[in-house]
Amino acid sequence: MACGTMNAAQRRYMWRFLPAMGVYSVVIVGSGLASRWWHPEGFGLFALALAPALPLLAAIAAIGLYLVEEKDEYLRSRNAIAAIGGLGILLAFTTVWGFLEEGGVVGRFPLWGAFPLWAAGLGVCQGLVHLRDGSGGEA
């Protein structure tokens, strides 16, 4: 999504994704500090615990909307392949980790780590797709 001049769908994606991640950065720090200072209980604790997830849901929605709104079928295909590759990496990692965890070999994998792991896998796969397709320079 980052190569060359951005099209309308890519610009909309950036305008959705980057603010969501900015809000996430603020909320994750803020909810941690608030929990430490106020020691909330009941609904307050529920709300503070849930708060960091909400901007990440917005980030996931931004990725989904990009795939829906991208009119360039080649770019959509590349990014869909990368997203599926990221999902494959996530499934492979959590499957192996789950059995290791079940056997008492490793500790608990935090479920909130699923999205960052998928996003990292997506990034790796975007790089691999870019390498496979070359730079796309004028031939």
Partner 1 sequence: MNNRLRVLRAERAWSQQDLAERLEVSRQSVNAIETGRYDPSLPLAFKIADLFGLAIEDIFLNPAKEQDQ
**Chain residues in the site for partner 1 (CB under 8 A):** 3-4, 7, 71-75, 77, 133, 136-139
Nearer Cβ to partner 1, position 103 or 134? 134
Give me the phi and psi of 3, to 5 degrees please.
Answer: -95, 140
CB of 53: closest distance to partner 1 in angstroms?
Answer: 34
CB of 70: closest distance to partner 1 in angstroms?
Answer: 10
How many Cβ atoms are within 10 Å of 62's Cβ, its own excluded? 19
Chain CA centroid to CA 47, Å? 22
Nearer Cβ to partner 1, position 24 or 66? 66
Alpha helices in the chain (DSSP H): 8-38, 42-50, 53-69, 73-102, 114-133
CB of 108: closest distance to partner 1 in angstroms?
Answer: 42
Structure tokens given for 16: 């959705």
CB of 19: closest distance to partner 1 in angstroms?
Answer: 25
User: Are 112 and 53 within 8 A, CB to CB?
Assistant: yes
Nearer Cβ to partner 1, position 6 or 47? 6
Nearer Cβ to partner 1, position 79 or 118? 79
CB of 66: closest distance to partner 1 in angstroms?
Answer: 14
User: Are 125 and 81 within 8 A, CB to CB?
Assistant: yes
Nearer Cβ to partner 1, position 16 or 130? 130
C-alpha span between 55 and 17 (Å, rounded) = 9
